[in-house]
Amino acid sequence: MKLTFTDRAREMVLSFMDQEEDGPQALRIAVDGSPFSPSYELTLVEAESRQESDVEVNGGDFPVLVDGASVGRLAGASVDFVETIQESGFQITPDPDAVKAAIDGSGPTGELADRVRHVLDTEINPAVAAHGGAINLVDVQDTEVYIEMAGGCQGCAMSRMTLRQGVERMVSQAVPEVTAIHDVTDHISGENPYFS
């Protein structure tokens, strides 16, 4: 498994390790959530705390323990340390091919996915189609739904209002077991938004 660390990320991991007074350290990385909106957990652990399912990767100057369930989703990813005016921290950029493999192109299945898709297709998409848009169900994780806005909805100034006042309200009424709806649309790269 290949996992690339930038020089800055490697430098920061080593500086955090130097602050620890325990024995040899390792960086543990795990991925949770949808492939469309993953949550990464990076923690320093004692090197001996390797679990049976962990895969060890060389981070350059330190060992990296990757949670066994996260291996496919981290293969080919790059780790950087970014600093902005408001925050700083590690940023993991997954390999697009690994994301596609995790998703496998089949789309979400199951009763909850079917019910949400029905609401999107019969109640929501006919309305947003008038603006040249579409809202697609891309993933379901437990009771959380991940949608992607396409066409005129991608990059639209009103997309947040459409999500909060339209999609969330209608889906929650029809499928009350849905606990959260996440928009995973790349709105920045929208090419043809209805409101520009």
CA dist 90 and 96 (Å) reads: 19
Please report whether residue 122 resides in a domain: yes
Question: In which band, very low, low, confident or very high, does the pLDDT at 177 lie, cut at 50, 70 and 90?
Answer: very high
State if pTM tops 0.85: no
* pLDDT number for residue 115: 92
Question: Based on the domain organization, do 15 and 71 belong to the same domain?
Answer: yes
Which of 56, 76, 103 terminates a domain? The answer is 103
Question: In which band, very low, low, confident or very high, does the pLDDT at 101 lie, cut at 50, 70 and 90?
Answer: low
Checking if the pLDDT of 196 tops 60, the result is: no
Question: Residue 18 belongs to what domain range?
Answer: 4-103
Whole-number average pLDDT of the chain? 81
Question: Based on the domain organization, do 10 and 93 belong to the same domain?
Answer: yes
Question: Based on the domain organization, do 40 and 59 belong to the same domain?
Answer: yes
Question: Based on the domain organization, do 71 and 91 belong to the same domain?
Answer: yes
Question: Based on the domain organization, do 73 and 145 belong to the same domain?
Answer: no
CATH number at residue 127: 3.30.300.130
Question: In which band, very low, low, confident or very high, does the pLDDT at 186 lie, cut at 50, 70 and 90?
Answer: confident
Please report whether residue 196 resides in a domain: no
* pLDDT number for residue 190: 57
Which of 51, 77, 103 terminates a domain? The answer is 103
Please report whether residue 194 resides in a domain: no
Give 10 or 38, the one with higher predicted confidence: 10
Q: Which stretch of 23-32, 93-102, 127-136, 162-171 has the lowest confidence by average pLDDT?
A: 93-102
Checking if the pLDDT of 13 tops 70, the result is: yes
Which of 80, 103, 126 terminates a domain? The answer is 103
Closest-CA residue to 150 (of 129, 169, 173): 129
Highest mean pLDDT among 64-78, 105-119, 164-178: 164-178
CA dist 174 and 189 (Å) reads: 31
CA dist 83 and 87 (Å) reads: 6
Question: Based on the domain organization, do 36 and 80 belong to the same domain?
Answer: yes
* pLDDT number for residue 175: 93
Question: Based on the domain organization, do 64 and 122 belong to the same domain?
Answer: no
Give the pairing of strands 88-93 and 133-141.
Answer: unpaired
What is the pLDDT averaged over residues 110-136? 86
Checking if the pLDDT of 147 tops 70, the result is: yes
pLDDT one-digit tens code per residue, 51-60: 888 888 888 8
How would you label 125-140 residue by residue, b for 16+ Cβ within 10 Å and e otherwise?
beebeebebbbbbbbb
Question: Based on the domain organization, do 91 and 117 belong to the same domain?
Answer: no
The total number of structural domains that make up the chain: 2
Please report whether residue 161 resides in a domain: yes
Give the pairing of strands 88-93 and 55-58.
Answer: unpaired
Question: Based on the domain organization, do 42 and 98 belong to the same domain?
Answer: yes
CA dist 78 and 69 (Å) reads: 18
